[in-house]
Amino acid sequence: MQDKIKITSKKVLQEKRLRKIFLIIIILLLFLLLLFYMIVGIVYNRGNFSITLDKNLYFDRGLIMYDDPEYKVYRPELYAEAPNTFDNISQYWLPEDITENYGGSHNGKNYLAYTFYVENIGEEVRDYWSEVFIEDVLKNVDDAIRIRVYRNDEYITYAKPKPNGEAENNTVAFISDTVVGRTHVENFAPGSIDKYTLVIWIEGSDDECTDNILGGEFKVRMRFNSEYAEES
């Protein structure tokens, strides 16, 4: 009888130990899942679009960027606010005066719009590179994305190529899956100011704009460099 009691007690202790281990594993998994969503939230809440300025452009070449002409100070990075909604639209729905904004975010319904400036406050003629990248994408939403870059009111509209490799209508194809476009600005004289407006939307007329991209997310970055820098 005593042996039976001992065996039963041992079995109960083992079951309690297993339940405790199982509970600890569940708590750890929930913690890791929460941590993951916190990281994703921090990343995406910083905005769908950011702009960075190579420090060499400021310290060595006297270039600055800003989104408020009344507050011209060195800022290594700018952030654009994401619109409240990002449903598909047509490029023809964009306002004709979209570049006339003073500066900063001026989003509309279902599109991101952001205006900022690059100025040469130095004493010599300089040049710089500008590059646009897709930093992160979920559910292939970039298949239907349009990224329009205005520089002093002249623009280029970038889009991911069609599945057959051809450029979408009235667009310049992405250089690669991650590199959208690259521009070299030369002979940027002292006192010169380049006004940029970035507009991002999901093009409803794109054949890849289907239910498959519903719930997708993306992040875009524009980078200003002192030298050509290729990113794979």
Q: What is the pLDDT of residue 23?
A: 74
Annotate 56-85 with DSSP letters as a single string: HHHHTT-EEEES-TT-----SEEEEPPPS-
pLDDT mean across residues, the chain: 85
Rounded CA-CA distance 57/51 in Å is: 14
What b/e readout covers 85-120, taking b as 16+ CB neighbours within 10 angstroms?
A: ebeebebeebeeebbebebebbbeebbbbbbbbbbb
pLDDT tens column, 108-121: 999 999 999 999 99
For the ranges 39-53, 147-161, 184-198, 210-224, the lowest mean pLDDT is seen at 39-53
CB 157 within 8 A of CB 198: no
Q: What is the SS3 assignment for 203-219?
A: ECCCCCCCHHHCCCCEE
pLDDT, mean of residues 192-210: 94
pLDDT tens column, 118-137: 999 999 999 999 999 998 88
- Tell me the three state secondary structure of residue 30: helix
The most confident of the ranges 5-14, 25-34, 135-144 is 135-144
